[in-house]
Every structure is written in C-alpha cells, then in structure tokens.
Amino acid sequence: MAAGAAASATHVHDLPEPILAQVFSLVDDVRTRNAMALACRRWRGLERSTRTALALRGHVRGPFLPPTCFPSVSHLDLSLLSPWGHHPFLPSHHHHHHFPDDHAALVAARLAQAFPSVSSLSVYARDPSVIAALAPLWPRLRTARLVRWHQRPSNLPHGADLAPLLQACPALSALDLSQFYCWTEDVPPALHKYPLAAASLTRLDLLCPASNEGYRSSELVAIAAACRNLTHLLLPCVFNPRCIEFVGDDDLLALAAACPRLSLLHLVDPATLSPARSDSDANEDAAITGPGLEGLFARLPHLEDLALDLCHNVRDTGPALEALGNKCSKLKSLKIGHFHGVCHGLWQHLDGVAVSGRLESLCIKSSPDLTDSGLATIARGCRRLSRLEIHKCHKVTAAGMKRLASKLRSTLVDVAISGCRLLDAASSLRALEPIRDRIERLHIDCIWGCSELDELPQAPDKTVEDEESDLEEDDDMAAPDESRSKRCRYSQAYDVDCFESTGFWFRTWERLRRLSLWIPAGEVLTPLGDAGLESCPQLEEICIKVEGDCRLCPNPRQMVFGLSFLSGYPALRKMKLDCGEAIGFALTAPTGHKDLSSWERFYLHGIGDLAGLYELDYWPPQDKEVNQRSLSLPAVGLLQMCPSLRKLFIHGTTHEHFMGFFLVMPALRDVQLREDYYPAPENDMSTEMRVDSCSRFEAALNDRRIPD
C-alpha cells in the first residue's frame, strides 16, 4: 500500500511545461538557477530559456565562444570582460595580441545571433568603436550603461563617445554614465545633435566619481532643455560661487520648468563623489537660497527622491523644507548637505524637515546646527523612517540618537552614523540599544575613544532612561496612557539581554545582516567586540573601508589588523575590504616606515580564519604619486589561505606568477582583476598582468575540478 502511494505521488517534474517555466522565471539567484539546470536536460532547457539577465566574464578569444542557449536574455552585461578595459570590438592595434581584422565583426554578429532579445546593455567602452559595433545590433535598446575608468581619448571631438549610441538607438529611455569617465562638454552636444533620442530619455545618470568637474549652469540648462521628458536626473553641479557659471536659483527654476515630471532629482557637488572623506568644513555660502528652493519644490510636485548635497552652506532652509513637505506629498527619500536650519525643534509644532511625514529615508550631512531636540522633532514628524544617516553633525549626542531610536523603534532598520565628533563607536552602539533587536543594516566609524578602552559594555542605565522619559513627556501629552505603555515596552526591550556563564554582559544584534565600518589608517579592528558588537548571528556581509596616510603612522599599536575577530560571526559570507584610500610607499620606504606590502600583510593577516567566507572584494592600498595599486606577494599568500572562497575580485593589478598561487584554492571559481579606479593604467608594465596573462590564468582556473 505504501509502495502504491509512492508510485502515484506527483513530482514537480510532472508539472506542465508552461507552469514549470513560470516557476523557473521566479527564481533570481544565479547559483540556484545553475543548480536547477543540473537536475536533468529538461530543466536545463527551461532554465536557459527563462533566464533574462546574463553577465559575461572572461576574454572573448574567438567568435564562437559566447553562449547561444539564452534566447530570452533582455539584460546583457559586457562590462566585466577581462582583461579589464580590453574589448574584442576594439581595433587590433589596441591589443597586445593581434586579432584578425574581421574579428570584431564576427563577435558582434555572434552576439546578435545569441541574444536577439536584448533591451538593456552594459558595456566597457574604452573607445567609441565599441559602441559603434554594438549599438546597431539592438536598435530597440531601451537601457544602456557605459563603463570606462581609463582616460578619455584626447583627440575625440565633443560628444563622439555618445554619438554612436544615440544615433543607433533613438528609442533609448535610460542612460547610465555613473561609471563612465568623460568630459562635461561631451553630453550637451551629443544630446542636441540627436534630439529624438534625447526626447525619449526618461532617466539620465551622470554621477561619475572619476570626474572632479561638475556641470555648469549653461550645461545644466542645455541638458534639461534637450531632455524634457526626464523623470530621473542625477548629475554633479558647480555650486561654488567663485567659479564661472556656477549653479544658482535661476538655474534650478529653469530645470524645474523644463522637466516638470521629475520624480528623482540628485544634484550634488563633485567633491562629495570622491571616495576619500573630506574633513574640511564649508566657510562660504552657496548661491542657492531658501526662496529659490521653495520655487523649485513648487514646480516639482511629483518628487519622490531628492538629493541636494552641497559643499557650501545654504542658510535658513527651514521654511524651504517645510514647503518641500507640503508641495511634494510623494517624497519618500531626502538627502541634504550643508543645510542650516534643517529642524530646530524649539517648540511643540513640527518644523523644517519634520513636516515631511511620508519620508522613509533621510540623510543629513554637515548640518552644524542640528541638535538632539531637532532629532526628537524629526522622530515625531517622520514616523515612517526606515533609514537614517547623519554625517558630520557635531552637536548630535548619544542621548539624542537614543531618543530618536526609541520613537522609531517600529520602523527604523537602517542606520549610518559617521563623522560626528560626539559619537564614537561605543557611544553610537549604545545609542542604538532601543532597536538592537530590529536593525538590519548599520554603519559606524571605528573611532576608539576613552569609553571603549576604559570600561567594558554595561547594561543600560535605568536612571538615564528615566531622564529621557522625562524629556519625552511633552511630546506625548496627547496620549499619556499610550506613551506610558510604549515606555514600558521599550524598557523591557532594553532589559532583555543575555549573560555569559562568566557574568559578562553580552549584547546580541539579532537581525543585523550588513555591517559597514570606516577605520582610520593604522587603527585595529579588535576593539569592535568591546564596543558592543560581540554577537551578530545573522551577519552576512561586512564592508570595511580604511582611509588615511599610512606614511604618518609607521608603527600600529598592534601587530595585526584583527580580521580573525570576524570569525565570531558564523553567517559571514561576503566581505568588502577597501584599502584604496590608504596611502603608503609603493616601493622603498624610509627607515622606520612600512611599505605597501607590509601594510597589506598587516590588514590581511587572519583572513584565513574566516572559514565561511564566500566572496571577497579587495582594494589594495596605493601610492597615488605613481598611480600604483598592485597586489603584493604577502597579500597573495594570505588570500590563498581562505579555504571556502569562491569569488575573488581584486580592484587593482598584480603579477602573473602571483596569480598562480590562487590555483591551489580548492573552491575558487571566479577571479577577476578590475582597474575600476581613475585613472586606470593605460599600459601594462612588463611584469604586470597582460591580455595573454589573463587568458592563461583563466584557462588554468577553468581546467581545475570544482568540488560542487
């Protein structure tokens, strides 16, 4: 009887093919889809026919290597082809290895045959010939993303980089140049030369961190006049009033008049896009005023996402931000930089940004007059906030952050605290105690103050809680019973902690999945546990950014950085270790100073203890004077000790014989060198990785037996 029941059982394989194909189309994870394709031939065919996004890796050495079993792919990513910056569509004189003259045409024809349904394309376009070869293959292209970290060819006329794309794809609706280095003079001429393509654009992203120049007032107005149907616009602007053609109130009003449908608008100063953190404070005022901002907001009623990140002061912005909350009722995300009067919080009524009650994400940068009372007013008015970032708000204290976290306990899951003088690592973590069991994403600065070094974490002080409750009485006068019950629940949440057998107070961040850390050069990671991040059972991803001049700190206070401390996070699978802004001596260091190889040994020591690490993005430290960011021998030796590492992305260069060390790593499957920093090296050095070097390494990597 049991055998008959088993024989009549229905298996998922018995589902009709249309239903099974619909099930396959709902799976997004790449590894899961690959595992499904290994079940049987029928499943492999269904998986291949339902995949809509594909990123090609490796070097296209022949016209028949691209796969031809993905007919439904609509998004094709060719920006990751290796070696970085070299492309099969470039003329042969660009390569060290000379391809036949018809190689580019053969590969282009093969791609058009293999992917007939492409509507979204990403490509590394070091030369306009790449776009000229690809754009005509898909004339109905709707979305394009161009990537280039190499220098722009100086002999090109203005707009030559974009002309082939706009000419071949007049129905283009989205253009992403956020990773494409070009001149600001290139965009307006190209848009005016092809008005049909410019008019069809609804999304335009020009926020490229490689460019240190912003768009001037005439260029901003020209772009807005050419692309009148824009709903998403992101670009850097010249807000410095000392510069010629700086952007002021009149330019913002002209932009709003030309593009009234904007729902996402990001206008930022180019300096804010730099990967290095700026420590200087603004001493001058921008040409943007409160009345000008009110006029801008009144003309853009559809705004949902706004960023105005300046490096110059904007005075008395409280009334303008109130107008923003009243005129733009759909606003959900706001980012402002160097705004004064964001929220005073002096009286019981809501003022400034607190009027925008529908906000879900708020970022306040360099607001010198934002205080704890202002944060409390923001918490009263913006009850839907799920993400909050404060940067360089020097009057904000731990008590103010704790008060805000208490009020937003039911919604706040993403917090970033950086650059605030009164909030070091330990005080930031103590301030987030009310949402410790709910927060999912967190960024803090690893500034180890006296509080971390002199005392261990303690249980929350109820006297402090009572003081804060007294401060909140005025805010909760309308509903005393409800506020009393809320305080009771919060107090219980604070007290529900766990003790180790030794009696040491043990904090657990139950839902924290992503942790981001900023650490000055020469500091160590190990005090993180004493600061309050001992236990994170669900932490999956950690991002560590090291910044500073290593030449000024020759002897760290400890011998190792402390990556082995992260082995206490059992679910950690993905790590980004960014030492790209750690500056040091590339070759020979003076007596008493470390060179870059010694610093790499310092930062990577202990990475082999992370037994569950699956993916690693690593930016080596650099010497900016010679533009060298190369992986050293000690770094290679330490990286190869990671037993479970499957994906390794090195954002720099290295030597071919160093890469051979990675072939002994049993689980390693995906390795790539990415020179995604500006300026990327134009010519490979004699002993650095070249086109043929990458080809040999990829061939050796693919010839190994992979356990799974």
HSE at residue 662, side-chain half, CA atoms within 13 A, is 29
Q: What is the pLDDT of residue 502?
A: 36
Q: Which helix (H) or strand (E) holds 333?
A: strand 333-339
Low-confidence ranges of the chain (pLDDT < 50): 1, 5, 91-101, 450-504, 686
Handedness of CA 407, 410, 411, 417 (dihedral sign): positive
Cα–Cα dist 239/222, whole Å: 17
Structure tokens at 431: 């301030």
Boundaries of every domain in the chain: 565-702
Q: 259 with 305: CB under 8 angstroms?
A: no
Q: What is the pLDDT of residue 485?
A: 40
Q: What is the pLDDT of residue 339?
A: 96
Q: What is the pLDDT of residue 625?
A: 80
Cα–Cα dist 119/133, whole Å: 16
Query: Is residue 389 helix, strand or coil?
Result: strand
DSSP code per residue over 636-691:
HHHHTT-TT--EEEESSB-BHHHHGGGGG-TT--EEEE---SSSPPSS--TTB--H
DSSP code per residue over 264-319:
EEEEE-GGGGSSSPP-PPP-SB-S--HHHHHHHHHH-TT-SEEEEEEEEEE---HH
Cα–Cα dist 626/579, whole Å: 17
What is the CA 204 to chain-centroid distance, rounded? 18
Q: What is the pLDDT of residue 30?
A: 80
* Residues 383-410 as b or e (16 or more Cβ within 10 Å = b): eebbbbbbbbbbbbbbbbbbbbbbbbbe
Out of 3.40.30, 3.80.10, 2.30.30, 1.10.3470, select the CATH number for domain 565-702. Answer: 3.80.10
Please state the pTM of the whole predicted model. 0.88
Query: Is residue 501 helix, strand or coil?
Result: coil
Q: Phi/psi of residue 582, each to 5°? A: -90, 110
C-alpha to C-alpha distances, 369 to 122, 239, 478, 526, nearest whole angstrom:
43, 21, 28, 34
Q: Which of 570, 698, 703, 671 is nearest to 61 (CA)?
A: 698
Q: What is the pLDDT of residue 458?
A: 40
Q: What is the pLDDT of residue 102?
A: 59
Cα–Cα dist 133/110, whole Å: 12
The residues, any chain, with a CB within 8 Å of residue 617's CB and separated by 6 or more, are 575, 576, 577, 578, 649, 651
